[in-house]
Amino acid sequence: MVGSSNLERSPQGADRPTQAGAEAGGPHARLACLASLALLVASAVLVFSRTMQRHLDHDEHQFVASAALWARDGLLPYRDYPHFHMPYLVFVYGLLGELFGRWLFAARLVSLGAATLTLLLLHGAVRRAADAQAPLVRHGLACGAVLLLLFNPLFAYTSGLAWNHDLAVLLALMCCLVQGAGVRRAALGGVLLGLAIGVRLSMAPLVVPLLCSQLAADAPGTRRRPALALLGGLTLALLPALWLLLLAPQAMLFGNLGYPALNTAYRVAEGFERAMTLPGKVAYLVTDILGEPANLLLALLLLASCLPPGTRGAGTTSVRLVRRAALALPFLLLGALAPTPAWYQYFYALVPFVILVALGRIASSAPGSRALRVAFLLLPLAVTAAAWQTLPEYRTLSNLPDPASWQPLRLHAAGRELASLLAEERPMASEAQAGTPARRARPALVLTLSPIVPLEGGLAIDPAFASGPFAHRSARFLPADERGRHGLVGPDELEAHTAGSPPDALLTGDERRDDAALLEWVARHGYRSRPFGDGLLLHLPPGGG
């Protein structure tokens, strides 16, 4: 099954299948395998359906727009436009966006694939940990792990959007799974961890537990080599990020370390009070995260896994894996609590690791142990509570056969409609220079805080607004000279920024709170406004038809 090939063998053969695990050819084992396969396929379908039906989140703009600017125009984050995250998804989304020709669809496919692989890896890891159990117990625990994650409210809320959570969590989980004795495994783990950090900076604290785990697991005479291999793989994976840091050191440091302070200042100015201080973040964790029955029962399952596990060998692969995952939990929590404010989706990174620790410990306990008995009382209750809360999130399954209803494809169609409308307003002939050979006109430039729609239509956007609303609304909290240095265009800079090269159109409506400066600009310059799409306003230059 998935994940078993990623785990190292115990040198004493401690992971050699027991009699119960050897019943692979029995009817119960075949039935359990079929049930696992059916569940995994059904889970993949549900995640796909949910991903395609989810409404656009404004966080998605900054990832998709940055990818399009790189893939279409060769612009680099930090150097050519403000970017407020680690850069690796720019290149992943950019390559796939060019391949599919549908930017949001391609980006969401990455998150969809990462979420689905996380489910598969959890199934494989828990099943491997339960190799001493009877086939039905083994597959029951593995399927329980899948259901706990699939119906967890944090997973349902976070997974599938075009942002940096799904892929970062998958890479961190893979790093935990492949870590083990030997230079090759250590190097591979370092590469995976480096990629996770290159996707999302909050994964950086994992360097500490994984390095400590590597040092503790290695034989006394070989501790330096695997630990150095881990650091070497980490450095290798971070080389592209280091290259961008050399190209634009101030901009990259500002985007990843300086901008969060501006975002905090914006929240304070808006009167936002929740999860703004460390005590407030802890209170948010207790009331909003653990206050949900599904998460509370998952925490109780984690506590139940701490009951005496029986006589399973302490040196087995599954025990070492669970210890690595358990050691990672405080550092994942640190990564979730570090940003201000702490948002709901930040805590998703803990969920797969909590499930792995809880069910991995229970699965690796001796058959008939107290932990196993308690688990089979709590596990159905936890799955039922999670499904009761989140099953409505998957109610769009009936729309799956109709691709026209898929949100990424709907936005692509809206982008094409916008391009056609602007082509009528701005004939291509007006772009051609007299006496020169015919050539393709430059795309119309749309100024907007919602750049995905024009990008889907092949239109141009202003790179200064590639982050969607984030740079624009936070600029006022920086002195004017620093705004210019970091390429931020706030309301005060909008007039000077557009002087001499006014946009061909403006698009507002998705960011009503932050669109005020754009609407004032429209009124000053006499642009004509008309409804467009679902709740949007398109603003066109004066004097058109």
Residue 21 sits at φ, ψ, to 5 deg, of -75, -15
Q: Which two tokens stand for residue 456?
A: 């889907």
**10-residue mean pLDDT series, the chain (545 residues):** 39 42 60 90 94 93 96 95 96 96 96 97 91 85 94 95 96 89 84 97 94 71 74 95 96 93 88 88 94 92 74 58 89 94 94 94 78 80 90 83 91 94 68 40 89 95 94 91 90 91 91 88 93 90 74
| DSSP codes of every residue in 99-141 | HHS-HHHHHHHHHHHHHHHHHHHHHHHHHHHTTTS-HHHHHHH
Spatial contact of 168 and 61, defined as CB atoms under 8 Å apart: no
| DSSP codes of every residue in 44-65 | HHHHHHHHHHPPPPTHHHHHHH
Alpha-carbon distances, residue 458 vs 118, 259, 417, 467, 479 (angstroms): 33, 29, 11, 18, 35
pLDDT at 456: 96
Strand partners, 508: 537
pTM surpassing 0.85? yes
pLDDT at 224: 66
Laid out side by side, the sheet with 445-448 consists of 460-461, 445-448, 505-508, 536-540, 528-532
Which of 509, 116, 152 is closest to 347 using CA atoms? 152
Burial (CB count within 10 angstroms: exposed 0-12, middle 13-18, buried 19+), residue 440: exposed
Tokens 């600017």 — which residue?
Answer: 69
Report the amino acid identity of residue 340.
Answer: T
Alpha-carbon distances, residue 341 vs 132, 137, 162, 168, 281 (angstroms): 44, 42, 21, 20, 8
Q: Which two tokens stand for residue 447?
A: 């100024």
pLDDT at 218: 56
Each domain of the chain, given as residue ranges in start order, spans: 18-53+84-391, 404-428+441-540
Which of 51, 366, 334, 16 is closest to 203 using CA atoms? 334
Helix (H) and strand (E) counts for the chain? 24, 5
pLDDT at 426: 66
